[in-house]
Amino acid sequence: MSKILKPLIFSFLLLFTISNIQANFIGDEIAGKKRIELGVSEPDAEIHVNGRLVGKGSAEITVPKNSCVTVIIKKVGFLMDKIEFCNKRGMSSPPKNYYIEMVRDDAYDASIQTDIANVDIELVVNDMDKDTAWKLINQIVLSYIDVIEMTDKETGYLRTAWSLKTFKQNTVRTRIIVKEANSDPLVFKAKLISESSGGPLTSVKSDELYKEWDRVLRSYSDVISEFQARIK
C-alpha cells in the first residue's frame, strides 16, 4: 500500500467513526432519548434495568422519551440500591452521569451462612437420664433466648418465642424448638429456625412476610454445637 493511500484510508475511517457517533447522538436527540453513564463503587455489582441485567460495575442507561426506567444495583453482602430515572415533561431531566456508592449489608455482616438452620439435629442421650437432659436443654436454650413460649417435660417439647432483630433492609426472626424423638434410646431433635422478611421493621407476627433464611445471626450460631457437646 502506498504512503499516500494509508493516510487517506485512516482519515476516511476516522471521519466515518465520528459521523456515526454524531448520527447516533442526533438520532437520540430527535427521538428524545436520554443517556446516563452509570458507575458503581463495586466493580462486580450487577446492574439491572427494568428487570434485565445490563452490566456489572458500570453501564450506559437509555431513558426513552416520555418514559421512566427502574435501575436496581445488587451485590451479595451489600444493601440493594434502587433508582428511577424519568424522561418526562415537567420532571427533572436525567443526569448525564450518576455514581452509586454501595453500603455494606448489616444483616449479612451480623450473620453466617450455615447448613444447621431450619433442619432437625439429632441429640442422642446415652450418659444422662431424661430429667438431667431436659434441665440442661432448658439452661442452654435460655442462655440464647430468654423467653420460652411452650415447654412440656412429659412429652419432651420446648419452643421459644421469636427473637426479633431488625436491620436497614431486613428483619430476622429466630427461635429454637426441641422435641423428644425417641424414648429408648433417648433422642431429642433440636431445630434452630432462622427466617427473614427482606424488609425493615417487619412485625414478628407477619408470618406471611417471612421465609426461611440460609443464614443465622452470629449470636445464635453456637447453639447447635453446644447442644451436641453437652447433651450426651
What is the reported pLDDT for 20? 52
Domain containing residue 86: CATH number: 2.60.40
Domain boundary among 104, 138, 162: 104
For residue 150, give its domain range.
Answer: 109-230
**Residue 198 sits in the same domain as residue 223:** yes
Domain count, the chain: 2
**Residue 225 sits in the same domain as residue 114:** yes
What is the reported pLDDT for 3? 53
What is the reported pLDDT for 100? 97
Asked whether the beta carbons of 107 and 77 are under 8 A apart, the reply is no
Note down pLDDT in tens along the chain; length 232 residues.
Answer: 455 545 545 555 545 444 454 444 444 444 689 999 999 999 999 999 999 999 999 999 999 999 999 999 999 999 999 999 999 998 989 999 999 999 999 999 999 999 999 999 999 999 899 999 999 999 999 999 999 999 999 999 999 999 999 999 999 999 999 999 999 899 999 999 999 999 999 999 999 999 999 999 999 999 999 999 999 8
Residue 136 burial class via C-beta count within 10 angstroms: exposed 0-12, middle 13-18, buried 19 and up = middle
In 3D space, the residue among 96, 100, 82, 102 whose CA is nearest the CA of residue 37 turns out to be 96
Domain containing residue 153: CATH number: 3.30.530.50
Is 153 contained in some domain? yes
What is the reported pLDDT for 127? 87
What is the reported pLDDT for 70? 97
Domain boundary among 84, 104, 124: 104
Cβ contacts of 181-187, under 8 Å, gap ≥ 24: 181/120, 181/122, 183/130, 185/124, 185/125, 185/126, 186/124, 186/125, 186/130, 186/133, 187/122, 187/123, 187/124, 187/125
What is the reported pLDDT for 4? 52
**Residue 158 sits in the same domain as residue 186:** yes
What is the reported pLDDT for 32? 82
